Amino acid sequence: MTEIRVDGNQLAGALRDVFSFDVTTATGTCCGCGRQAPLAEVDVYTRAPGLVARCRSCGQVLLRLVHGPGRVWLDMQGLRSLELVVPV
């Protein structure tokens, strides 16, 4: 079976649907210790250029969010996965 490859624009609709509600209810899995918890339960540090979320269990940086003029940077390198309950 041949794979069909398209560019990243294909993600636009899917990501718009995913992030159109309160993401803090999503369950994240920490890359460091494997703890699973809602994002609302992480420790967030605000004395940085943006927001830094860390695992309450091991201190692993889960995500970084930085706002700039007309743009946002989101790094979720510390999350193994993010489980979202999508309204049907």
pLDDT digits (tens, 9 = 90+) for 10-20: 777 767 766 77
Percent of the chain with pLDDT over 90: 56
- Given a contact cutoff of 8 angstroms between Cβ atoms, the answer to whether 7 and 29 are in contact is no
What angle is formed at CA 48 by the lines to CA 45 and CA 50, rounded to 5 degrees?
85
The average confidence (pLDDT) of the chain is 87
Give the global pTM.
0.81
Strand order in the sheet with 79-83: 36-38, 27-30, 79-83
Report the DSSP beta bridge partners of residue 81: 29
Evaluated on CA atoms 27, 22, 79, 12, the torsion sign reads: positive
pLDDT of residue 2: 73
Residue with tokens 């979202």: 84
